[in-house]
Structure formats: C-alpha cells, structure tokens
C-alpha cells in the first residue's frame, strides 16, 4: 500500500518558455521538429503547503508510452523536450512521471496524469493571456508586476514567475508556476510560492 506517498496538498503546474531555455544554454529540438512559439509543459508537480515536495514515490512504476498512445499528438505538441541530444521526448516524459507523477494519485494511473496536464495546458492559454495585455515574446523588457497582473487577470490566479539569464546576463521569463488542487482540474491560489530571483523588469525573448 502506498498511502503515505499519496498525500500531498496541491500541484504546481509549470510551463516553460522555449526561447528562454534555448538562449541560456545549449538546446536541441525534438525529432518532431522545432516546437511552436508557445509555452510548453515542464511538469505537474505534487507539493506540500510547507514548500517541500514528495518525489520518486513508486520505484516499481516505469513510464509506459503505450498507456498514453491516444494522447501522442497532443503531448508531442504541448510537452516538447528541448534538452540535448535531440530525442523523441520520451525521456523527458518518463523523468516527469517517475519523479513527480508517481506521487500524484492513488491508482498511479499514467494516462490520467498526462491527460490532466494536457487539459490544464488547454485551459490556461498563457501566451494568449499575455498577448491580450500587450506582452509579446519579442525580446522586449516588461515589468515583472505587469506580467503577473496580466496572468492574474486572464486566469483569475496569481502565478509565480521563475527567471533565468540569457547569454548577456539579462533576467528573463523562463517558467510560469500556477497552482492546482489535488484533483488536478481546478486552479487555486498558491498556498506557498517557490523561491528564486527575477529582476523587476524582465525580458521576454522570441523563439
């Protein structure tokens, strides 16, 4: 029985901006080609209200792509891997399942886990929300507060922004964290935010 590992308080749903992954280090496009100029899923991560989190909850459970074969075209589009060398994305999804997904639900159902993340991605069109507020991935610098306000206005909830640095050392929008209840379907206000620094003005690079 895996009772202890199934308890968590909420999920972070984390999306990455590919332009900021790729201008801060070497990146490689997956075998399916250059991803769209859009946010991609990084992961759906069980978390505790005190900021800590469970990981690798079921060492027996391996990622099995055949269990998500009906999701293939959606997941390839919405959850591309930018790590090198180029891959078919399976290593990324497998890593996320083993580290985070196995802590996420009572029956440890891989199909539900990936379907939940894809549904959240559809529900939260971050790029559209930002562009509606005049925030575009064009290499310009935007106020961190304006980015957060735009997402709050467009989704109803306050995000956490993680920044990284481009080759010249400029702080830029790397990942967006939104909080989701344990059912995996409803956004909530985050019980606790991650740590890490952004400048008060950050770049939104193109991709």
Residue ranges that bind ligand 5GP, judged by CB under 6 A: 12, 16, 21, 42-43, 45, 47, 53, 81-83, 92, 95, 99, 148, 160-161, 163, 194, 196-198, 200
> Residues in the chain, how many?
207
Instruction: Give the shortest CB-198-to-ligand 5GP separation in angstroms.
Output: 4
Instruction: Give the shortest CB-155-to-ligand 5GP separation in angstroms.
Output: 14
As given in the structure block, the two tokens for residue 186 are 């409803």
Instruction: Give the shortest CB-103-to-ligand 5GP separation in angstroms.
Output: 8
CB atoms within 10 A of CB 87: 17
φ/ψ bin of 186: left (φ > 0), alpha (ψ from -120 to 50), beta (otherwise) = beta
As given in the structure block, the two tokens for residue 109 are 């159902």
CB atoms within 10 A of CB 70: 10
Instruction: Give the shortest CB-17-to-ligand 5GP separation in angstroms.
Output: 11
C-beta of 21 vs 204, nearer to ligand 5GP: 21
Q: Give the SS3 label for residue 170.
A: coil
Considering only CA atoms, give the Rg of the chain: 17
Contact 191, 9 (CB under 8 A): yes
* Positions marked catalytic: 42, 96, 100
């Amino acid at each position: 029985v895996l009772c202890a590992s199934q308890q968590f308080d909420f999920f972070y749903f984390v999306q990455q901006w590919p332009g900021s992954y790729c201008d801060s280090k070497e990146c490689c496009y997956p075998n399916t080609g250059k991803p769209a100029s859009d946010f991609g899923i990084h992961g759906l991560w069980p978390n505790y209200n005190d900021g800590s989190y469970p990981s690798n909850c079921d060492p027996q459970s391996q990622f099995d792509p055949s269990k998500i074969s009906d999701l293939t075209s959606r997941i390839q589009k919405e959850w591309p891997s930018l790590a090198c060398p180029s891959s078919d994305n399976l290593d990324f999804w497998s890593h996320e399942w083993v580290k985070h997904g196995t802590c996420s639900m009572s029956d440890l159902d891989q199909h539900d886990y990936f379907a939940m993340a894809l549904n959240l991605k559809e529900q939260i069109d971050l790029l559209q929300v930002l562009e509606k507020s005049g925030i575009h991935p064009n290499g310009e610098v935007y106020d961190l507060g304006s980015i957060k306000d735009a997402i709050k206005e467009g989704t109803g909830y306050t995000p956490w922004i993680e920044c990284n640095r481009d080759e010249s050392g400029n702080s830029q929008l790397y990942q967006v964290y939104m909080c989701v209840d344990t059912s995996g379907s409803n956004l909530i206000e985050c019980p606790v935010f991650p740590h890490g620094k952004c400048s008060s003005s950050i770049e939104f690079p193109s991709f």
